[in-house]
Structure formats: C-alpha cells, structure tokens
Amino acid sequence: SLRDTVPRGDCETVCPNTPCFSEVAYSQSTGQKEQLSRCLQRGIRRVQDLCKVLQLPTVFEETAVSYVQRALQHPSFHLVSLEKKELLGGCCVFVTCRQHNWPLTMGTICSLLYAKQELFASVYLSLQKELELSVPALSLADLVKTHLNSFRLFQHAADIPAPFVENKEKVVARTMQIVELASETWLVTGRHPVPIVTAAAFLSWQSLQPATRLACTLARFCKLARVDLPPPAHLRLKELLEILLRMASQLAWLRVFNLDKKTVVKHIGDLLQHRIFLLKSAFCPEDEEEQQCAAAPGEASPGSAAGAVQGGGCPSAGKRRPLLPPCLVNPRKRLRTAAPSASDSAVTGEEPISDGEIEQYLRGPEEIRAFRKAQACAAAPSTLPTPCLATCCI
C-alpha cells in the first residue's frame, strides 16, 4: 500500500489529498501528559490570586507557584483533606514572602483564605518539613511597618475626623519604641506579636495629640483604622500602661501629678526618651530584692513611689518588684480538689494497697533468718530433732 512504501515525512508530497495513516498515541495527539491536574490548576490559580491581592512582585509569584507544584506532587500531600490542599497555596506564598524578607503575617493570609490559624500553622509546618524549606524569622521592626501600612489614619477621609489623622512616619517611629519597651519588659516573649503591635500603635497615636485623642478607646481606634481588634490587645494595653506608670513614678517632675492610665499617655515621649534609666530605677533584680527584704523587711525602698504595685516575697508597701515575665508575676490559679466526703473516707476493705503499706509487711533481718531456718527444716525433717523442728516452724 501507499502507506507502507512511502516514507512518513513524504506522504503529503506524493499524495497531498490522501491523509497520512501513521499510528499516533492518544496522549501524544491530545497533549494529555502536558495537561495539569485540576487540583494543581486550582492551587496555581489560588497562588496567583493571592499574589495579585498582596501586590507581590513577579519573582515572588514564580517562586510560590514552583513551591505549590512541588507540594502537590509530593506523596505526603496526596491523601490530605481538600481543606488542607486549599491552604497549601497560601502557605507557599507565606514561605516565599519570608524568604525574600517581605513582611507578612500568618493572620493576613488566614484572613484572605478564611482559614483557621491552627490548621494553617499545621499545614505550614508540614510543608516546611517535607520540602525542607529554610524560612527566616520575621523581625518586630518589619512587622510593625507592615501592620501599620493597613491603617487608614494616615490620610484624610470623609469618615475620619481631622484631629484623628496623623503622620505615618511619626506613628511608626513611636510604635517601634513602645514595642522595644515591651520586648525589654517580657511582654512579647511567648505571645502573638499582632496584639502587642496594635496596642503600641494605639498608645503612640494617642500620645502624639493627647488633648483630642485621650477619649478615644482602643475599639474605636481600630474601627476608624479599619483593622481587626485582636481579643488580647486589651490585656497587652493594660500591661503596657502598668509599665509606663511604674516608669513615671521614677521621674521627679512627674511625681507631683496624680497620674493614672489615661494621663500617663501625655508623658510617653519623656518616658521613652529615658527608658533605659527608668527601667533600672523602677525594677530591681531578684538578688537585690532579696537583700532589701532581708536587711529591712519593714521599710520601703527609697526610690519607689507610693501606691506602686507590690511584688511577692516582701510585705513592704511601695517597694520595687523585680522585672519578671507576666506568667511569673500573675501565675494561673490551680483548680482545687474537692474535700473527700464521709462516705468516701469510710474503710471498705477494697482499697488498693499503697507502696508504704506493702513495706510494712516486709520481714526484718530476724524474721528472714527464722523463715530460712524453717524452710531448711521442712526440706530435711529426718535430719533434725523433733523439738528443733517444732521450734523452727513456730
């Protein structure tokens, strides 16, 4: 036939009107091998959408797409749930931003994907482990700048009062100082940084124009800035104000004022300017505290202000307490066990025997010798006199 005699490449030349009948595989004719799976297509599309929303450079998008392709082709992610597969794209974008030193929080990705932070964190750790990715930590300075970029109080708008608009550079600089103060006083250790940054931004914003902003609450501040209010932010704000009040008690020109948690905001600039000296004056180390309590247990420290918060260990009023983490200053209360009732304390004879009771039944040295003697008598009764056998058995 013509197909058998004519070379494959010359079919159209010899017989242009006759189609070439050379066998072609189905996958080669349709490009099936080049097609991506539906799951991989959705993952790539999700990564591209996240990069567009976050306005990331093209290099970031290419890196994140390569990570999601590697992850979805990895055997460890073949049998995971659909919810976790949908979070893989967000984890790849998060890893890419961290590797390029682009400040991005996990909460931002979770809010865009409507995902739970616990589930996102588990997928992120699995991705980092399986693909052996090196992810640098995010510094507080980068986090402060990134978090404050989403605030709407730095430009005039119709729904924002004019006295509430503030210069962005001033707020960022003072927020950085307050966050550094929180880091030096153990308020950052082991905690989520976003609530602390939110509380610090609120204090810095208030202190720049305290006359018109002291009446504004933290909830209203976040509402005007159009940022979420983390639930622990109120507690972090309270702890920061307590630190500032203790520092203010060490300044001579502030002792004449009756400062509280609202009025101390007016003097945040002075407190931050002298924060190294004030921290050393307001808080004393544990060894110094013990020496003061041992030397004069009934006297207060000369540098402390009246009404300052008392620490544990020394009952003197107004003394300085050591600078400790909040978990040690205010430990969690343990649950008390209920007292046993009369019916529970009654002896029934079915109680388990404790180790101490078992030790009471152990024989002493004399009993052990007599028991061994009786065992010897029972083993060879013919070789021993009858009185001895009776005595040993008794």
Residue-wise pLDDT for 159-191, tens only, equals 888 889 999 999 999 999 999 998 888 888 778
- Contact indicator for 188, 224 with CB cutoff of 8 Å: no
- Contact indicator for 171, 204 with CB cutoff of 8 Å: yes
Nearest-angstrom CA–CA distance, 82 and 122: 14
Q: What is the pLDDT of residues 24-67, one digit of tens each?
A: 555 455 544 456 677 788 888 889 999 998 888 899 999 999 99
CATH assignment of 140-283, among 3.40.50.10140, 1.10.8.50, 1.10.472.10, 3.90.330.10: 1.10.472.10
**pTM of the complete model:** 0.54
- Contact indicator for 225, 253 with CB cutoff of 8 Å: no
What dihedral do alpha carbons 324, 325, 327, 329 form, nearest 10°? 30
Predicted pLDDT at 239: 93
Predicted pLDDT at 381: 53
CATH 1.10.472.10 spans which residues of the chain? Answer: 38-131, 140-283
What dihedral do alpha carbons 187, 193, 198, 202 form, nearest 10°? 30
Which helix (H) or strand (E) is 43 found in, with range?
A: helix 38-54
Q: Residue 300 is encoded by which pair of tokens?
A: 């207060």
Q: What is the pLDDT of residues 214-250, one digit of tens each?
A: 999 999 999 999 888 988 899 999 999 999 999 998 8
- CATH 1.10.472.10 assigned to domain 38-131? The reply is yes
Predicted pLDDT at 234: 94
- Contact indicator for 370, 363 with CB cutoff of 8 Å: no
Residue of 285, 294, 277, 183 lying closest to 239 (CA atoms): 183
- Helix (H) and strand (E) counts in the chain: 22, 0
Nearest-angstrom CA–CA distance, 383 and 385: 7
Nearest-angstrom CA–CA distance, 146 and 172: 10
